[in-house]
Amino acid sequence: MLFPDFPCHPLLFCEIVDRKWGQHFLIDKNIARKIIRAANLEPGDTVLEIGPGRGVLTEEILSHQAKVIAVEIDNQLVQKLKQKFKNYIEENKLKVIACDFLKLDLAKFFAPYPVLKIVANIPYYITGRILRKIYNFKNWKRAVLLLQKEVAQRLKATPGTKEYGILSVATQVYTRVEIVGFASPKVFRPQPKVTSAIVRLERLPEPLIKPEEEKGFFHLLHIAFGQRRKILINNLSRSLNCSKVKLEKIFASSGLGANIRAENLSIADFVKLNRFL
């Protein structure tokens, strides 16, 4: 999969706290239970937990008789988790991996686990990079993530709204998105300045684009949303060095008006337009 770097909203970088890795630890067990219910865990499931922190979510996952592979970058937290869940580790129900998730070769490491569920309280400042890595990884069917509310709304956004953009299209090409609920800053330590959202992503059986279309598709998205308020044909003509007359014919063949803007194209429109281009 050739999923590119998509632009991250400035707010994705605003909540770095004094701790080295910028964590906001979940402390509310009711929110943890809500996240686990959204994951529809069954005994014997294998769950990838990204950034377990102090283990509030980990504990809830284990209570549902699921196996957990927890990836944590903070070595101090790794040691605390190993002590806290010593019995589960000895029973081979939990593995705590001391690693930067962004540097982990997921396809290689999780090859023995063809179907995973993913649970994570994601640090705000690397949300875009984590999502991109998850989308590029195929061995999962459901992910439940605790995200900044504004980011969650962008994942689920529809054409014609101010939240709709590359992140919306990229997410919905590969998954079905649902906002399950919200979490106030009070359920974290230290408290963030914004509300969070619980998001469930169901991976589509087949992506809406074919593997050989991905590179061109995301190139098109970057051009289109680079100047989202301008007429798309003008953007494409300059970026692709293609005449407007030719593009008008392609748009007509795709069922699109010549004056349409990127923010008004549906995902199906983008897929169709990419194939004509």
pLDDT digits (tens, 9 = 90+) for 1-11: 444 444 433 33
Q: Which residue has the higher pLDDT, 4 or 173?
A: 173
Q: Which residues pair with 223 in a beta bridge?
A: none
Q: pLDDT of 87-114, one tens digit each?
A: 999 999 999 999 999 999 999 999 999 8
Residues with Cβ within 8 Å of residue 116, at least 6 apart in sequence: 46, 47, 48, 110, 139, 140, 141
Q: pLDDT (tens digit, 9 = 90+) per residue, 9-30?
A: 333 323 323 345 557 899 999 9
* 31/37 Cα distance (integer angstroms): 10
Q: What domains can be seen in the chain, in order of their start residue? A: 10-203 (3.40.50.150), 211-276 (1.10.8.100)
Does this model's pTM top 0.85? My answer is yes
Written as six digits, the tokens of 238 are: 């300059």
Using CA atoms, how far apart are residues 128 and 56, in angstroms rounded to an integer? Answer: 24
Strands (E), 102-248: 116-121, 140-148, 175-183, 188-189, 196-203
